[in-house]
Structure 1
């Protein structure tokens, strides 16, 4: 057991209220937690939206980073946070959170038992380790932390307690792993690490369960045994029973899921392979990369709100004077305003969502009256009225009392951070000092021009302005001004695909044809600082985080018809995803629509771009290969002959049962196939006619040029012959083929007549 003393150096990196200058004369403070040696820990406020005592505080601490590796920790934390801010409900409720990094230089680099249980242990302050702390009976991906050490270091963040904070420990490792519970953990450098964080917060903060149908990878879980699960997102009930009994996620049934598909009832979860059901086909708690579905998002919204106080300040509860201004301050979601209603003796006042009420305007009768202010979060993320964030306060108005005027100057006391740009759809907020006799009005301007903001003037919704490009937003009160840069510029994301057989440019976007695995690289950039989050989705399914490739964050994402198995999980399955090898889903061959976009550090979501891709079955495997120059005719009598980058100075004749696959090649003569098994002409040039009669397995001609007529007759192929995107200098005739040939929506350029089955190709 390694216990080390803690010396905390708290640097004032950000003001207590984000957007305001640091307090003058601020200095570092040193706290000695024990005497058995020292490890200096620097608390760095990354985002401070208000007092720690009234906010939800995310305390991120690193383990296994030496002093020289702390810049790597900071870079990884930036990525983890920006991915988190791109995911709801964290995106909308970012202002509810303070985020502090605890930088702890480690004597040694790395974490315990990484990657194998027999790997050495290292000397680190938080004692993080894979295999559940080096337990051979555990699983590799379970990355644990010393709770004692984590609590000690978290305690260095003033104002935080176990009730208002969440600890996230990030280990210096490129191995996939994490854990959820009282404390959330994640490895820092794996391609999927930034997605492990929200998943584990789903456990630690939301109390959500895993939706996996396995515990040990590679082994499907046994059928579920037991009664109705306590988990909010698992059930034994049918959809009709949920509706009839008004239980579980009955309010969301039938709606498009935020993680793709439709909210319904999908079998497996809680490590059981059958016998229990979850709301979505895939979501954050089943497959890293997707969003939380509505059921999980509702719980996360509730839990985030419960860790902070909707009332951030108010006129002190008790008796107030009849001419007094009673005020309150709320939390501020970034996506919408909270609703505030005021009632006097049970009657609602027409306050239009204002944060203060001037009692002198109410013509009160002498005596005592009751004033109640109620805050309700109207978010669409919550449908269960029992968990909707709500708070109220009550004052007694005594008409015999006299309010005291305040000589305190009007000053801004809090705001949306001015240190980074806000996005063009954000609800920006500002708070001021308050007086018992007057409410300070806030005037808002965009690019120096006043913009009306009736009712609640503490929040300003940029969304209705439909701003694009760069702008300046100002808030003015009492002679003071706050200024924000408004980032209305969308992030830019560029896609780079591996070389296709054919590219067709269309008004709706490019279309590609591949006959094997292909890769997609997304490179996202923005004109503001911070990690930009790329995403993609296939066939309108859920948006999926682009993280590179599981084994290498810098490698492109690889699509195949069946997916690629890595550490007993499946990635890159085109079409309907396969998560585990035993998932029974249709293959990915055929045509698909791929959309991609990015979310910048300000929160702007880029307009999706798209392309279509058709994946053909691969050409048959080569039994012989021809490259370079071949002089004279080429007679193919058996096997599969591949012409790759070849030049054939003569005709190519394919006998019955033989196959030819020509890729990026040139044939200076005709190509004739009689009873051939397979004929594939891919991005090749044929200086002469092409005749295929009675092909028995597969016929594919894509992106090729034929100087002469093309005839395809009497084929009996497993799938339809493909004639797509070819240039034919002569007629194109097809007859007697079953199935009939297709062009995959990539018409051929034919100079002569098109007849028979190819009349529309």
Structure 2
């Protein structure tokens, strides 16, 4: 999609009808002031359509949480839906410019807002109306939220810019949202080599692009000048192939280069490559303070006090918390008991919180406030701290209302008595186990498949989580015309054939299925671009739909892998079949 969201002036008139909107929490991991808040609006959904809006949200979120870095930083997000019943079902100019104009709360419309010279897939809205509805979510503002608006439509479309829009019901709609968030949240640019589908882009004639993932430099120049994605060159790309230099992007077919053959900013279905993922990690992290709460630092503290910090908790790794005095490390973890230092006189304690994620290689990003923050305290070793009577209890945690994955890091925050750090006690399936001071890494237990129970206790408080360690499965159905060849040939087809993937899990929720061909990047199986219920079609030359080619598979022998991902983040074991197209 493009990176433009037009204002209300270009749209159909604002609707006279406005039903009472309702804010519905979808995922709450903390106070809105300490989280990045994704506010999902719906347009063109009548009261009768609201179950469909909720289903569209579930599909979009399940796909979003399978894509890095959204997957690892899911806990940084709160998600709220604002249900705004519409007078009409559907949105304006859908699918044709001559199609009906609809009375809807956000005035969403295709064709760049029903413009004669608009782009059919550019789905825009009344930004002012979107802001007013988003303002209904308590504790959110422009600085700590991202608006995503879903249209009640099966037509492919969306837009990015300040806000993101996407079709709610298109077969590929759940993949439009992360692409558009790449624009509006990550500041990423399109890697398309065209502007109008089916019309090849011309030659790029500008100077070196500001875009982090486009360049005029050769690989040798990137390495010599240490610019653009030089740190990632030669790495296997998360979206398939190798990080290198591939011609085309910024709507130009030649004269400008991108890092990967097909990342999410070029082809919906693949993941972000490492270059885009690094930028997205930076932008998501910048929306959340690494030090969210801390022991009072506005006055000198006593040498018998416990200093503490509270941080966000990525799903798959721990933040690094280091305490120093005079440059020497005196402790690690969220608490520091000053009494154990046994220091006299006045001194300064510094805590440094850093995100060690492997998604970032640029030291400038690592050292920025997005991934590194510090606090200092002045300590008087002679000063005594009075008891404050604070009772140990839980104040926040990984949500307990849904299962956690078998490799998740589960956290539990507590109160902070001035002179003693509460100790969280952990139990797994009724047995005491060792965890961190405020979290536990489930991956180290290598849990057997099935359901497990995790309990945390502090004082008289108790929290409990269900652990979903059952991996989802995917099954494949191929065209009946395929016949079994020898061990090397696998399934043999003399022409086009269909593939249908079906995901299954032991728990309710959307199961995402993926496949990859000959070791290329994993690709989201969404059915077929024109029908989510139809199977994928492989042909020798591919099928052209709206100017794009899908399902191209050359003659010869190919290996196809497929797998499933459940709503808890568990990834099923990949299965494989071979196929020979003759």
TM range (shorter): over 0.9
Match of 1:559 among 538, 555, 562: 538
Q: Residue 505 of structure 1: CA displacement?
A: 8.0
Structure with max Cα Rg: 1
Deviation string 1:264-291 (CA, Å, 9 cap, x unpaired) is 0000000000000000000000000000
Number of residues of Structure 1 aligned to a counterpart in Structure 2: 565
Aligned to 2:359: 381
Instruction: Please tell me the root mean square deviation across aligned C-alpha atoms, in Å.
Output: 1.3
Aligned positions of 1:692-711 closer than 5 A: none
For the pair 1:417 / 2:399, whether they are aligned, the reply is yes
Q: Residue 539 of structure 1: CA displacement?
A: 0.2
**8 Å contact 1:561–1:589 — kept in the other structure?**
yes
Give distance in 1, aligned partners of 2:513 and 2:485. 24
Aligned to 2:140: 160
Aligned positions of 1:181-196 closer than 5 A: 181-196=161-176
1:128/1:37 Cα in 2 relative to 1: closer, same or farther (>3 Å)?
A: closer
Give distance in 2, aligned partners of 1:217 and 1:404. 70
Deviation string 1:579-608 (CA, Å, 9 cap, x unpaired) is xxxxxxxxx100000000010000000000
SS at match of 1:471: strand
Give distance in 2, aligned partners of 1:452 and 1:169. 44
Give distance in 2, aligned partners of 1:542 and 1:108. 41
Please give the TM-score of this superposition, normalised by the length of structure 1.
0.73
Give distance in 2, aligned partners of 1:371 and 1:447. 39
Q: Which moved more, 1:466-475 or 1:235-244?
A: 466-475
Aligned to 2:565: 599
Aligned to 2:324: 343
**8 Å contact 1:500–1:512 — kept in the other structure?**
no
Q: Residue 399 of structure 1: CA displacement?
A: 2.8
- Whichever structure has more helix as a proportion of its residues is 2
Deviation string 1:295-351 (CA, Å, 9 cap, x unpaired) is 0000001100001111121102222111000011110000000000001132211x2
Give distance in 2, aligned partners of 1:46 and 1:183. 19
Match of 1:404 among 358, 375, 386: 386
Q: Residue 403 of structure 1: CA displacement?
A: 1.3
Aligned to 1:435: 417
SS at match of 1:311: coil
Aligned to 1:244: 224
Match of 2:505 among 496, 514, 526: 526
Give distance in 2, aligned partners of 1:189 and 1:205. 23
Match of 1:477 among 455, 458, 461: 458
SS at match of 1:405: coil
SS at match of 2:80: strand
Q: Which moved more, 1:310-319 or 1:412-421?
A: 310-319
Q: Where do 5+ consecutive residues of structure 2 fail to align?
A: 1-11
Match of 1:393 among 375, 395, 418: 375
Match of 1:106 among 80, 86, 110: 86
SS at match of 2:559: strand
Match of 1:300 among 280, 303, 310: 280
Aligned to 2:3: none
Q: Residue 94 of structure 1: CA displacement?
A: 0.2
For the pair 1:322 / 2:303, whether they are aligned, the reply is yes
Aligned to 1:280: 260
Give distance in 1, aligned partners of 2:90 and 2:297. 52
Q: Residue 500 of structure 1: CA displacement?
A: 3.6
Aligned to 2:8: none
**8 Å contact 2:18–2:87 — kept in the other structure?**
no
Aligned to 1:369: 347
Q: Residue 400 of structure 1: CA displacement?
A: 4.1
Q: Residue 485 of structure 1: CA displacement?
A: 0.8
Give distance in 1, aligned partners of 2:133 and 2:296. 34
Give distance in 1, aligned partners of 2:359 and 2:17. 48
Deviation string 1:613-648 (CA, Å, 9 cap, x unpaired) is 0001xxxxxxxxxxxxxxxxxxxxxxxxxxxxxxxx
SS at match of 1:163: helix
SS at match of 1:99: strand
Give distance in 2, aligned partners of 1:371 and 1:504. 70
Aligned to 1:610: 576
Which structure is richer in relative contact order (CA contacts within 8 A, separation 6 or more)?
A: 2
